[in-house]
Structures are given as C-alpha cells and as structure tokens.
Amino acid sequence: MSDDSTDHYFTAQPASPDERRTLPVVLDGQPYEVETAGGIFSPGRIDLGTSVLLRTVADPPTGDVLDLGCGWGPITLTMALQNRQATVWGVDVNDRALDLLRRNAERLGLTNVRAARPEEVPDDVRLAAIWSNPPIRVGKEVLHSMLDTWLPRLLPGASAHLVVQRNLGADSLQEWMARRYGADAAFESAVGPFTASVSRLASAKGFRVIEVTRV
Ligand SMILES: C[S@@+](CC[C@H](N)C(=O)[O-])C[C@H]1O[C@@H](n2cnc3c(N)ncnc32)[C@H](O)[C@@H]1O
C-alpha cells in the first residue's frame, strides 16, 4: 500500500498505474487465479486479517449479503462460492477494485456477485449477513458513518462479522459499537431504530473478529 496521500487504496480513481497481474489464490479451499492491480488494498496476496475472518465464519446464509469494502474481492468471491443461492454485494468506493471484482467473478463463473459503489445498492436491500475487513485507515469519522449506514440494514437476528487488527483499535471499535447500538442507546438510523449485541467472536494473529447481531 502506498503512503502517498494522493493514492490511498480508498480513492475512487487511484493515481498509480493500472497494471493488471494474475495472482494464484485459494478461495473456499480451491485454487484459482484472480486479477489484481496496484492502487488497491493488498494486491499481492490475501491479507492476513481477511484470512482470519474467512477461517472464522461459517458459510453465509441465502439472501442478500454484503462485503463492505470489497477490494479485488477475496471475501465477496468466497461468500459467493460458499453459497450460490446468496446474492453477494461487493461494495467499494474504489472503481478499480470494483472493475477487478467484476472480472474476477466472471473468471470464476459466479453469477451471484454484484459489484457496486455504496450509492448503487438499492435502498430496499436488507442484509442476511455482512462480512468486512473494514477500511480503518479512512479515519474514525468515515468508518463510524459507514457502520451507521450499513449495520442497520441487517435483518432481525442477522450478524455482521468485522475483522480488525488489535493494534489498529479493534477493542475500542468494539466498545464504540456496543455503546452506540446497545439496548440503552436507542440508536435511530436512517432506516429506523437499530439495536445490536456486540461481542468478540475470535482473536488470532493480532486480529479480532467482532460479531454484531441485530436484536
Ligand atoms: C482493508 S480493505 C479490504 C479489501 C478486501 N475486502 C480484502 O479483504 O482484501 C478496505 C476496503 O474498503 C474500501 N472503502 C473505503 N472507504 C469505503 C466506503 N466508504 N465504502 C465502502 N468501501 C470503502 C477501500 O477502498 C478498501 O478496498
């Protein structure tokens, strides 16, 4: 990842050259070749946090499910492979990442993937699951606003699983969500009241997997 502020992986049009390369990866236990490029998150390998998340969570349910901040798609593609009855929304603000996800879904013959910018997801979509390796580096304000936007779209009883590095504030993010969405908080989202229970599902290799379940 570049430290140049003009070319963070979360810009819409990264400034770095769009040199495509193929990367051998294992997704849902099978070997595949995917396409990646510079200017997106972790183009050279599946990120360790992403691997921890994918090892921890059970197969996704049927229905609309979301990978919030999809990058080239390791999480989206895994969800889509694990449950072909699920409609998997891979959402990102980086257009290059979305293009790669579309191409990778096609390479893998997956017809249940929807690559979209956040505003392109129809307002009436409600989510049976959210999996995310969220963009901590965007800063708390943007991150919190992303969570306020997407978590309340979970169906009752549905869960979000977020993987966050311990050194990048996983525990304080968990505490923030528990305060914000706990029963006492009466959080009013844009789509109505939202209450959730928040807990740590797993801890491995310096990462936490946080579970947020809509009450
Ligand atoms: C830590 S990366 C994870 C990428 C991919 N899921 C993976 O596991 O390799 C976070 C992603 O969130 C995206 N992102 C940043 N701001 C966003 C926003 N407001 N809405 C959706 N995605 C965003 C970034 O562009 C980046 O691709």
Output the pLDDT for position 198: 98
Distance 68 CA to ligand 1 centre (A): 7
Q: Answer whether residue 130 is part of any domain.
A: yes
Name the average pLDDT for the chain: 95
Nearest alpha carbon, ligand 1 atom 10: 135
Q: Answer whether residue 2 is part of any domain.
A: no
Output the pLDDT for position 13: 83
Q: Answer whether residue 179 is part of any domain.
A: yes
Structural domain containing residue 86: 7-214
Q: Answer whether residue 157 is part of any domain.
A: yes
Output the pLDDT for position 28: 98
Q: Answer whether residue 45 is part of any domain.
A: yes
Burial 81-109 (b: 16+ CB within 10 A, else e): bbbeebbbbbbbbbebbbbbbbbbbeebe
Output the pLDDT for position 22: 96
Q: For residue 94, which atom of ligand 1 is closest to its CA?
A: 25
Would you say 101 and 90 are in contact if contact means Cβ atoms under 8 Å apart? yes
Domain count, the chain: 1
pLDDT in tens, 101-147: 999 999 999 999 999 999 999 999 999 999 999 999 999 999 999 99
Q: For residue 46, which atom of ligand 1 is closest to its CA?
A: 9
172: CATH: 3.40.50.150
Mean pLDDT per 10-residue segment, the chain (215 residues) = 49 82 97 96 97 98 98 98 98 97 98 98 98 96 98 98 98 98 96 98 98 98
d(Cα 66, Cα 71) in Å, to the nearest integer? 13
Distance 184 CA to ligand 1 centre (A): 30
